[in-house]
Amino acid sequence: GLALLPQLAVGASIAIAAIPEGLPLLAKIGEAAVARRLAHRHALVHRLPAVEALGRVDVVCTDKTGTLTEGRLKLSLVADLDEEAPPSAKLTARLRTVLLTAALAGPHPDALDAITDRTDVAVIEGARAGGLSDELGLPRDAHSPFDAARAFHAAVVQGRLCVEGATEALVPRCDRVRRGGVEVALDEIGRGKLLARAEALAEDGLRVLMVAEGSPDGPTDDPNGLVALGFLGISDPLRPSVAAAVRRCHDAGVRVIMLTGDHPATARAIAREAGLRNEDDVLTGPEIGELGDLELDQRLERVGVIARASALDKLRIVEGLQRLGHSVAMTGDGINDAPALRLADVGVAMGRGGTEVARQAADVVLADDDFATLVEAFVEGRSFWRNIRRALGLLLGGNLGELALQVGTSVLGLASPLTSRQILAVNLITDVLPALAVALQQPEHHDLAGLAREDASALDAPLRNDILRRAVTTAGPTFLTYALALRSGGLPVARTVAFAGIVATQLAQTLDVGRGEDGLSRTVLGAVAGATGLLAATVAIAPLRGFLGLALPTPFATVLLAAAVLASVLLSCGWVSPWSVSRKGGQLADSPLGSPA
Query: Is the pLDDT score of 104 beyond 70?
Result: yes
Where does the pLDDT of residue 341 fall: very low under 50, low under 70, confident under 90, or very high at 90 and above? very high
pLDDT digits (tens, 9 = 90+) for 199-225: 999 999 999 999 999 999 888 999 999
Q: What is the pLDDT of residues 438-478, one digit of tens each?
A: 888 888 888 898 888 887 776 778 888 888 888 888 888 99
- Return the pLDDT at 185: 94
Q: How confident is the model at residue 13 (pLDDT cuts 50, 70, 90)?
A: low
Distance CA 433, CA 533 (A): 12
Could you tell me the pLDDT band of residue 11, with boundaries at 50, 70 and 90? low
CB 69 within 8 A of CB 238: yes
| 156 or 587: which leads in pLDDT | 156
Percent of the chain with pLDDT over 90: 52
Q: What is the DSSP letter of 106?
A: S
Cα(41)–Cα(374) distance, rounded to whole angstroms?
10
Quick one: pLDDT at residue 466? 86
Determine the pLDDT at residue 514.
Answer: 77
Active site residue 63: yes
Nearest partner of 370 among 58, 132, 62, judged by Cα: 62
pLDDT digits (tens, 9 = 90+) for 493-527: 999 999 999 998 888 888 888 776 666 778 888 99
In sequence order, what E strands does 215-262 have?
Answer: 226-235, 255-259
Helices 371-411 and 491-513: angle between axes, nearest 10 degrees: 160
As assigned by CATH, the class of the 59-71+238-369 domain is alpha beta
Quote the pLDDT of residue 585: 38
Averaged pLDDT score across all residues of the chain: 86
225: left (phi over 0), alpha (psi -120 to 50) or beta: left
Q: Are 156 and 165 in contact (CB under 8 A)?
A: no
Distance between CA 392 and CA 579 in Å, rounded?
A: 15
Please indicate whether residue 4 or residue 572 has the higher confidence score (pLDDT): 572
Lowest mean pLDDT among 6-15, 268-277, 497-506: 6-15
Instruction: Reduce the DSSP state of residue 597 to 3 states and report it.
Output: coil
380 or 508, higher pLDDT: 380
Q: Is the pLDDT of residue 9 over 60?
A: no
Q: Coil, strand or helix: which one is 94?
A: helix
Could you tell me which of 340, 342, 346 has the C-alpha nearest to residue 361?
Answer: 342
Q: What is the pLDDT of residue 79?
A: 95
Q: Which of 180-194, 255-269, 309-323, 458-472 has the lowest mean pLDDT?
A: 458-472
Domain(s) of CATH 1.20.1110.10: residues in the chain: 4-42+380-582
- For the stretch 281-287, contacts whose Cβ atoms lie closer than 8 Å and that sit 24 or more positions apart, written own/partner, are 281/305, 282/306, 282/307, 283/307, 284/308, 284/309, 285/261, 285/309, 285/310, 285/313
Decide the pairing of beta strands 152-157 and 142-147: antiparallel
Question: With helix as H, strand as E and coil as C, how does 300-334 read?
Answer: HCCCCEEECCCHHHHHHHHHHHHHCCCCEEEEECC
> For 79-114, b where at least 16 C-beta lie within 10 A, e where not — what string?
bbbeebebbeeebeebbbbbbbbbbbbbbbbeeeee
Q: Where in the chain is the domain with CATH 3.40.1110.10?
A: 74-233
Can you give the pLDDT at residue 406?
85
- The arithmetic mean of pLDDT across residues 309-315, rounded, is 90
| 572 or 549, which is more confident | 549
Distance separating alpha carbons of residues 183 and 193, to the nearest angstrom: 15
Picking from 78-82, 125-129, 267-271, 593-597, which range would have the lowest pLDDT averaged per residue?
593-597
pLDDT band, very low/low/confident/very high, at 377 (cuts 50, 70, 90) = very high
**502, 418 Cβ separation under 8 angstroms:** yes
pLDDT confidence tier of residue 576, bands split at 50, 70 and 90: very low
On the question of pLDDT at 588 being above 90, the answer is no
Catalytic residue among 58, 63, 345, 512: 63
Encode pLDDT of 346-374 as tens digits. Answer: 999 998 878 899 899 999 999 998 899 99
Q: How confident is the model at residue 435 (pLDDT cuts 50, 70, 90)?
A: confident
Q: Average of pLDDT values for 25-44?
A: 91
Q: What is the pLDDT of residue 511?
A: 85
Give me the amino acid identity at 203. Answer: E
Residue 2 is predicted with a pLDDT of 46
Residue 80 CA: distances (Å) to CA of 211, 212, 353: 9, 11, 31
In the chain, % helix, strand, coil (3-state, to 5) comes to 55, 15, 30
Which CATH number applies to 4-42+380-582?
Answer: 1.20.1110.10
pLDDT score of 487: 86
Alpha-carbon distance of 38 to 348, in angstroms, equals: 13
In the chain, CATH 3.40.50.1000 covers 59-71+238-369
pLDDT at 6: 54
The 8-class DSSP code of residue 68 comes to I
At the fourth CATH level, the homologous superfamily of domain 74-233 is Calcium-transporting ATPase, cytoplasmic domain N (3.40.1110.10)
467-492 residue pLDDT tens: 888 888 888 899 999 999 888 878 99
pLDDT band at 402 (very low <50, low <70, confident <90, very high): confident
Of residues 256, 254, 283, 255, the one with CA closest to residue 267: 283
Provide the pLDDT for residue 439. Answer: 87
